[in-house]
Amino acid sequence: MNELRRLRASGRHLVTEELARGTVGRYDEAALSAHLAPAERQIALDGFDRALKTTLERFAPGDPQMDPELAMAVHQNLPLSRREAADPGVWRYLAVVRHPEAVRHRWEYRSFATMRSRFWQRGTRFDANAFSRWWWVAELTFEPGAPYALTRLALSNGALSTHLFTRQLAWHPPTLAACVRVLRDASGPEVERTMRIFSKMLSVRVPEAMSAEALEALARAAVSRDR
């Protein structure tokens, strides 16, 4: 089977400590039919599989520099609409059934609770399903004029990506871009404090009604207030 599928909620028990540690490398997909369903639309995975393999091979296990490259590879090779990508079943299929080795390659096993989340939990948090996070971060940071330039910047700073993609302000492209441009080289504590101040500033404004320049100026003001 070389098409995208969905792992149903009933397949939750497949996320075991053995899978997370790699004692079980990969399940036999043919034996999981009761928990699998077709994706909403037929999407071939040949290109996706190749791009993922090539990207993983370029990095040593645990190297965080693979994040932007993986985000690009996953997003470029999975042409999903946002509606399709909102289905956690597709991300669970990719992480639990098709490519658990990618999750293990990116993150060293430290605790089962966190690893389980990286196989199962939808969203863009740092501990969410790995494929969901890579795809959604690339989607949110994609700018047609300079595809994936912002993705690279956002994911190259671990503290920034952690604090940015746990907040709903990251859903608004100009606000997200302002944060990335202003905080791309900031330290962890600076990112944390600035994001807190910037979020508070936005809570009395409507960012959707502000220009990109005004948002960037506001983000710079948040940095200054932080100092």
Partner 1 sequence: MRRERFLPFAFARHGLRLAVSELALDGKSLPLDEHEVIHLDDESWRELRLVGAVEVGDEALASLPPDERGRADQLAALWLVLRCDRTALRRGVPVGPGGAGTREFELTVPRAEVDGPFEVVPWLVRSRAGAPPPGYAASEGARLASGPRLYVYPHEPAPRAGDFLEVVYVRFSEDAVLRHQPWRLYQLETHGDTPVLRINADHESIVRVLDARGQTGLDARLREVFYDQISRGVWSLLFTGAVESLDSEGRTHRPWQQGVIRELLPHMFPETPKRERMHELVALREDESHLSLLAEKCDEALQRRLDAVKHMTRLIETTVGQR
| Residues at the contact surface with partner 1, assessed by CB under 8 A | 8-10, 37, 81-89, 124, 136, 139-140, 168, 170-172, 203-211, 214
Both tokens of residue 227? 């100092």
In the complex, minimum distance from the CB of residue 8 to partner 1, in angstroms, rounded to a whole number? 6
Nearer CB in complex with partner 1: 154/186: 154
Q: How far is the CB of 199 from partner 1 (least distance, A)?
A: 11
Q: Which is nearer to partner 1, 31 or 204 (CB)?
A: 204
- Look up residue 202 and give its two tokens: 């936005």
- Using DSSP's 3-state secondary structure scheme, residue 38 falls into strand
For partner 1, the closer of residues 214 and 223 by Cβ is 214
How far is 142 from 153, CA to CA, in rounded Å? 11
Comparison of 101 and 139: residue with beta carbon closer to partner 1: 139
Integer Cα distance of 1 and 10 in angstroms: 20
Q: Which is nearer to partner 1, 56 or 164 (CB)?
A: 164
Q: Distance between CA 180 and CA 167 in Å, rounded?
A: 13
- Closest approach, Cβ 143 to partner 1, in A, equals 15
- Residue 209 burial (10 A CB sphere; 0-12, 13-18, 19+): exposed
Least separation in angstroms between residue 53's CB and partner 1 is 28
Torsion angle in degrees (nearest 10) through CA of 111, 91, 192, 141: 150
Q: Nearest approach, Cβ of 50 to partner 1 (angstroms)? A: 26
Cβ count within 10 A of residue 204: 6
The residue type found at 114 is T
